[in-house]
Amino acid sequence: MTTCVPAGSGNLHCRVRDFKGQGCRKASWVSSVTFSGSIHKELSWSAGAPKFLQIQRCNFSQYPINENSKSLRTVTVSSLRDDSTKSFDFAVIGSGVAGLRYALEVAKHGSVAVITKAEPHESNTNYAQGGVSAVLCPSDSVESHVQDTIVAGAYLCDEETVRVVCTEGPERIRELIAMGASFDHGEDGNLHLAREGGHSHHRIVHAADMTGREIERALLEAVLKDPNIFMFEHHLAIDLLTCQDGSDTVCLGVDTLNTETQEVIRFISKVTLLASGGAGQIYPTTTNPPVATGDGIAMAHRAQAVISNMEFVQFHPTALADEGLPAKPTKARENAFLITEAVRGDGGILYNLDMERFMPLYDERAELAPRDVVARGIDDQLKKRNEKYVLLDISHKPREKILSHFPNIAAECLKYGLDITRQPIPVVPAAHYMCGGVRAGLQGETNVRGLYVAGEVACTGLHGANRLASNSLLEALVFARRAVQPSIDHMKSSSLDSSASNWWSRPVVPVSLESNVINKILTMTREIRKEVQSIMWKYVGIVRSTTRLEAAEQKICDLEAKWEEYLFQLGWEPAMVGLEACEMRNFFCCAKLVVSSALARHESRGLHYTIDFPHLEESKRLPTVIFPCSSVRTSWSSRQLHKQPIC
């Protein structure tokens, strides 16, 4: 397969650039993009700017490459064929709010496998502190929420998507409450609505500062009671199972690795929902849990899905800076501890270490400016003053109010001798949220038939160039629900049977390699992983430049080639899989997608700020779109482990 543009696309007018033999990047203006197959629907991003900035990525490695599950419920139903192959109507990859909400709906129509990389609760949802934004107050309006979202997104949002999400959001909140989610109420008995940066009204529904945890709890309880849903924990998704039907790519399931038993388990499914979260771990400092290694985005890219807006990485302005705590943690955290946006929304003030308030210097909204503005303000202060963190002070508020609104934050800080009711909190920006991802239509559909996406892994057009605070859980809920009916329709029309399992060769665990070889590979992989994280932080962070981005691209490609050569020289084969090796593949894939997208945007918009193009350019108000590209000698991270069969 050599075409890089789905059937039905408009005429291309290309500009071609070649970077030092590492591959090609074609930037094109595309008049329209129609996803092929059963969808027959034009994804009309953006309403005000119907063109796209296209990147055709064909990065080549300089080295050629050689060609009994555990569940939370005892699994005894006939849909499970054998120990290594399981057949379901629906496969859901990810156990955050998007995956669980979807599973509960489609389970009314068929069998569902929920596949999760670690424990079911270990997701970005569980770490979401602030809340869910929705219009639930008479003084608020959908129009106001729409405008706040578009302004925060630097006018790159798809207006139709924004209106759909803001309109349907309140009903999704009511459904959660009906399912048993408990949110905070005020003295008047109504839901307590908080306000966060970028919002013009109080519209954040929350459960103290542990909203995500409460939503996850309610959804997991419902899932575990549903006899049609089977949870497979500690199953790492390796690659989507796809085949070609003419010019269409079709998804028929996923290969996974049971990381406890080291068995490869194949899931054959009529419909697959990708709800695997983001890729915050490609940066060394992130609020994301260890599982957020970009697996879903990378798998989808390898499976020929269209990817969009990957340059827009949101850095949360305020993660706890351990260096500034009175007592330092005894060991490094796996992920940074988030200090929710709601602290600033509740009156928290940012100071430098001389206790000078600085945000009014950067924006008239001061601490209530959108996250991209606040993160750049903090970054500028740290660089100018050569300091490691700034201070966020909420201590001027009543003690009782602070402890009732932020009990989790107060308890965490108190562990290290900091009383937030009396002292300011040391904070620093950290990678937080991917506004880009797998390009989705209004029903979560992708250009790959049978593959739907929801949550952070998806790029729906809601967030544009910068996500408005507390819109992420809302988007996950809305799109998980919108993907249900088309998924059911596709499932009912599918004639897939279990014999499809034999269409693909299977990944294998490296049992043929000696333990000392495995240890060498693991050591090398961990070193390379840290190097990639360091490059992303140093060259692809809050403030960027063309020179630094090109340096990052070169360094990442060199590291990828070095890593692959080392593995294959030690006897590793392309079909072999292991947790850290698979994650490293996905690291490389996502890092390259971010860098390529950033290089293609010749303006500063939202989360993408570059000193070479420091201003907004209306002519460049275009989503970045990366179409897949196949070649024989792509790097290991960029190709599926098996060849695609013909349906």
**What is the sign of the dihedral through the CA atoms of 113, 509, 451 and 244?**
negative
Report the C-alpha gap between 145 and 161 in whole angstroms. Answer: 12
Distances in Å between the Cα of 212 and the Cα atoms of 419, 515, 523 are 24, 40, 34
Report the C-alpha gap between 487 and 90 in whole angstroms. Answer: 8
Q: Which helix (H) or strand (E) holds 485?
A: helix 484-493
Burial class (CB in 10 A: 0-12, 13-18, 19+), 58: middle
Q: Which residues contact 503 (CB under 8 A, 6 or more apart)?
A: 241, 243, 252, 645
| Pairing verdict, β 624-627 and 451-453 | unpaired
Both structure tokens of 549: 């981005």
The residue among 590, 537, 582 whose CA lies nearest residue 563 is 582
The number of CA neighbours under 13 Å toward the Cβ of 170 is 13
The residue among 301, 116, 300 whose CA lies nearest residue 220 is 116
585 assigned to active site? no
The residue among 524, 495, 512, 618 whose CA lies nearest residue 572 is 512
User: Residue 92 in contact with residue 273, Cβ under 8 Å?
Assistant: yes
DSSP 636: G
Both structure tokens of 461: 């057009």
The side-by-side arrangement of strands in the sheet containing 425-434 is 313-320, 425-434, 390-393, 349-351
Helix boundaries (H) for 107-241: 124-127, 142-152, 159-178, 211-225
Which one is catalytic: 266, 302, 371, 585?
371
Burial class (CB in 10 A: 0-12, 13-18, 19+), 270: buried
Q: Which helix (H) or strand (E) holds 568?
A: helix 546-569
Q: Which residues contact 214 (CB under 8 A, 6 or more apart)?
A: 181, 182, 183, 207
User: Residue 9 in contact with residue 32, Cβ under 8 Å?
Assistant: yes
Query: φ, ψ for residue 17 (rounded to 5)?
Result: -130, 140
Type of residue numbered 337: F
Both structure tokens of 281: 């771990």
Both structure tokens of 38: 């059963």
Report the C-alpha gap between 348 and 317 in whole angstroms. Answer: 13
Chain Cα centroid distance, residue 62: 29
3-state helix, strand, coil split of the chain in percent (to 5) is: 35, 20, 45
Helix axes 579-600, 515-539, angle to 10 degrees: 20
Burial class (CB in 10 A: 0-12, 13-18, 19+), 435: buried
| Residues with catalytic function | 371
